[in-house]
Chain A
Amino acid sequence: MALLQISEPGQAPDPHQRRVAVGIDLGTTHSLVAALRHGVAECLPDEKGRVLLPSAVRYLAGGRRQIGFDALDAMAGDAENTVVSVKRFMGRRLADLQGLDKLPYRFVDQPGMVALATRAGPKTPVEVSAEILAALRQRAEDSFDAELFGAVITVPAYFDDAQRQATKDAAQLAGLNVLRLISEPTAAAVAYGLDNASEGLYAVYDLGGGTFDISLLRLTKGVFEVVATGGDAALGGDDIDHALSDWALAACGAMAADAQDKRAALVAARTTKEALSSADAADWSATIGGRERRVPVRRSQLEALARPWVDRTLAAVRKVLRDGQVSRDEVRGVVMVGGSTRMPLVRTSVGELFGREVLTNVDPDQVVAIGAAIQANALAGNARDGELLLLDVIALSLGLETMGGLVERVIERNTTIPVAKAQEFTTFKDGQTAMAIHVVQGERDLVGECRSLARFELRGIPPMVAGAARIRVTFQVDADGLLSVSAREQTSGVEAAVTVKPSYGLADEQIAQMLKDGFTHAEDDMAARSLREARVEAERMVLATRAALAIDGGLLSAEERAAVEALARETERIGAGTDAHAIEAAVAALAEGTEAFAAARMNQGIRQALAGRRVEDI
């Protein structure tokens, strides 16, 4: 239903111009941006031709920053102020994190999300990620010499609500219009699915720097359905680097005394590990405590160190097969994603588990960004009619705390999104007028073992005997996997409802403030920017409305149609002006005025679907 491609000639400035939409893989070790060029999805290189941007941000004096390779080059000498693998801290509190003693950072415990102390002050993982995203946005805008319409950003399938929210906040902070968050394995399958026109059940094994995901996906005629997901948000190639680093330090009897030593030992371990993917032996060498150290490493030694981590991934794979009630013979292919899958040990172990050769013909570092770019292009309205639809599931169950610190699950994991579900609760004391609601995410039965997402109170319940109040708590998860919760007392007719945003997410005002503080583009004038955004939205709405009228105008009476057309003309007229607030108001009026029309079109679409218009496809 590519509405946006159809518009009346002369109504909009160059309506057939392609919208530039990008896919971004915001990775633990490195990040990439990809887009369609000449019909082919490809990763965009920097001015030196490199597609990988190391996910590293170095804070310098005077508010300056280095991002990517520059930061990485300076890392060994300035570890404390050079943040790498920040994805591991997204949406996390200090208490959630393990193994911090191995890291060269000073952590700041603050409510909501941990921060890292740098010479530029405390920086949250959201802010650090926004720097990386802003750099990729700049790269894309330079490549196309155009403003971006929007971006699809990938997250591990295992990311919980707090982590997804943090990712979206970072994108917003970087000035990106997020078209959709999609899970990394889904993106990888998109890249493979379209290249190979494959149908059936696939496993996506994604071992990156800091996260491990295993997903089962079913591909059917342009529909990608996530059957089950699992994994570990704190397991990846970095762990193997740490193991090798510790081992090499012990082997040469050296002690990594400070942050620089630790960093140097780790960098050397990563280089050695990568070399051992093709060579049988390589040297680990680093300057520790001012002395040059060198340890020869054989591949078999690396594999012995890596074995426990690889085995943990295999256990997660088996669990997902159980969850999805799928036998390994049903899996028609295993897609390998993430730089760590270059290790021969990983490829052979996974291949043995599934009893088949694994798929590696798309670059495992680029496959996620490429898939995201294909989806971004479709969401921007550039793809052909109905080419691609991703149907995702939530990876972790959502529930509420009940009496005795137990969890009552409201939405089970692996439920297809978007989803809404309501559950009724009651008061347990006579005359109780308030109820505390605690929202948690996870698979354990005890509240303490699940992730706490939000707490709020429903107040103003009229006094009643215990058990008489009917409090309906509604959970809604949107297509990005983001949750909102509301509660309402039913019997009295008195309505008391509240909608929460998980406590990890930044409040919209905070984001506005950070933007105002000149976080990404100090030179960017806020007013000009909001005007530009309002105009783009107005133009988009007018185009969409006219396209809809051209196709389904018959659903409206002459008067209704005239009213819609008048609203569209008015929006267009105001959109040509310079008052951002007026434009926003006009867009809102147009949206409201076309709501009934949109509903009628939707109903028609469903009737057509049911009439078996595509029966031959079933």
Chain B
Amino acid sequence: MKLDDDDFTLFGLPERHALDRAKVDARWRQLQAEVHPDRFAGDGAAAQRIAMQWAVRVNEAYQRLKDPLRRAAYLCERRGAAIQAHDNTAMPAAFLMQQMQWREALEEAADAAAVAGLEAEVVAAERTMLADVARLLDEAGDAPAAAAQVRALMFLNRFRQDIGRRLDTLDPTHIR
């Protein structure tokens, strides 16, 4: 087991998008229980430093594996289809149209109920697209197509944060 092993190897999980979140969590706790600096509190500076490196590495892998979108991006990159979110903003026209409609709807939404309705719609769209990403990666083996979907999902993710902020100002007591 090495620090530069990939996330899946480190966690001893199959390299695929469909993962059991409970299993990811359990592996993470198990690994941290081994490597966390607190486990070496009395062992001096060298052991502390190594434990810190490992704990950082395990947390890094965990952050990527537990989030379906980041996991998808990671898989795309490992299969040669880098996301390059900053350089590559090409989107299908239909998706851009949908985005614009949603953005307008958010601007025009008058109350918390309208915003919450929009949020539900976006969450449902995200779920459908993620399922598609999983299919493209795990079954079709089409990483470039999956990468395009991941880029679109990143847009949606940002949009949903805007929705959340709007909800916070409209109705601070709202709980999902």
Contact = CB atoms under 8 A, between A and B. Distances in A.
Interface in A571-618: 587, 590-592, 594-595, 598-599, 602-603, 605-610, 614, 617-618
A609 B32 CA distance: 10
A386 B37 contact: no
A225 B29 CA distance: 9
Given A223-B29, A591-B46, A607-B1, A381 B63 contact: no
A179 interface: yes
B41 interface: yes
A60 to B, nearest CB: 39
Interface size class of B (residues with CB under 8 A): 35 or more
Given A322-B175, A386-B33, A418-B59, A380 B41 contact: yes
B36 A391 contact: yes
B38 interface: yes
A606 B28 CA distance: 11
Contact of A594 (B33, B46, B63, B175): B46
A507 B135 CA distance: 54
A84 B29 CA distance: 41
A406 interface: no
Contacts of B130: none
B30 to A, nearest CB: 5
A416 interface: yes
A548 interface: yes
Interface stretch (B50-58, B94-102, B141-149, B151-159): B50-58
A556 interface: no
B50 A598 contact: yes
Contacts of A420: 56, 60
Given A479-B36, A602-B35, A380 B62 contact: no
Contact of A606 (B1, B42, B56): B1
Given A179-B41, A602-B50, A607-B1, A618 B26 contact: yes
B38 A220 contact: no
A540 B44 contact: yes
A166 B110 CA distance: 45
B90 interface: no
A592 to B, nearest CB: 7
Contacts of A541: 43-44
Nearest to B63: A415
B120 to A, nearest CB: 14
Given A415-B63, A416-B59, A381 B42 contact: yes
Given A416-B62, A602-B54, A389 B39 contact: yes
Contact of A220 (B29, B35, B43, B46): B29
B34 interface: yes
A194 to B, nearest CB: 16
Contacts of A602: 34-35, 47, 50-51, 54
A450 interface: no
B173 interface: yes
A548 B40 CA distance: 11
A609 B56 contact: no
A478 interface: yes
Interface size grouping (class) on chain A: 35 or more
A380 B62 CA distance: 28
A94 interface: no
Contacts of B41: 179-180, 379-381
Contacts of B49: 595
Contacts of A381: 41-42
Given A315-B173, A606-B31, A418 B42 contact: no
B33 A223 contact: yes
Contacts of B173: 315, 318
A1 B39 contact: yes
A318 B174 contact: yes
Contacts of B36: 389, 391, 479
A321 B54 CA distance: 31
Contact of A609 (B23, B33, B50): B33
A419 B31 CA distance: 15
A561 interface: no
B92 interface: no
A3 interface: yes
Contacts of A380: 41-42
B13 to A, nearest CB: 10
A612 to B, nearest CB: 8
B111 to A, nearest CB: 18
A614 B34 CA distance: 11
Nearest to B54: A602
A220 B49 CA distance: 27
Given A223-B29, A544-B44, A321 B175 contact: yes
Interface in A391-421: 391, 415-421
A330 B118 CA distance: 25
Interface in A315-374: 315, 318-319, 321-322, 325, 327-328
Most buried by B among A1, A590, A607, A610: A610
Nearest to A419: B59
B12 interface: yes
Contacts of A609: 30-31, 33-34
Contacts of A421: 60
A595 B45 CA distance: 9
Contact of A390 (B35, B38, B164, B168): B38
A322 B176 contact: yes
Contact of B12 (A318, A321, A610): A610
B172 interface: yes
A418 B30 contact: no
A203 to B, nearest CB: 13
Contacts of B12: 610
Contact of B42 (A220, A221, A416, A544): A544
A479 B31 contact: no
Contacts of B176: 322, 325, 327
Nearest to A477: B56
Contact of A598 (B29, B47, B60): B47
Contacts of A328: 175
Give me the 6 closest cross-chain CB pairs, A-B, nearest first.
A591-B46, A618-B26, A379-B41, A605-B34, A595-B46, A598-B47
Interface of A: 1, 3-4, 179-180, 220-221, 223, 225, 315, 318-319, 321-322, 325, 327-328, 378-381, 386, 389-391, 415-421, 476, 478-479, 537, 540-541, 543-545, 548, 587, 590-592, 594-595, 598-599, 602-603, 605-610, 614, 617-618
Given A602-B50, A606-B54, 15 more contacts: A1-B39, A3-B42, A180-B41, A318-B175, A322-B176, A391-B32, A391-B36, A417-B59, A420-B60, A478-B52, A591-B44, A594-B46, A598-B46, A605-B34, A609-B30
16 contacts: A3-B42, A223-B29, A225-B29, A322-B164, A380-B41, A389-B39, A391-B32, A415-B59, A479-B38, A595-B46, A598-B43, A602-B35, A606-B34, A606-B35, A609-B33, A618-B26
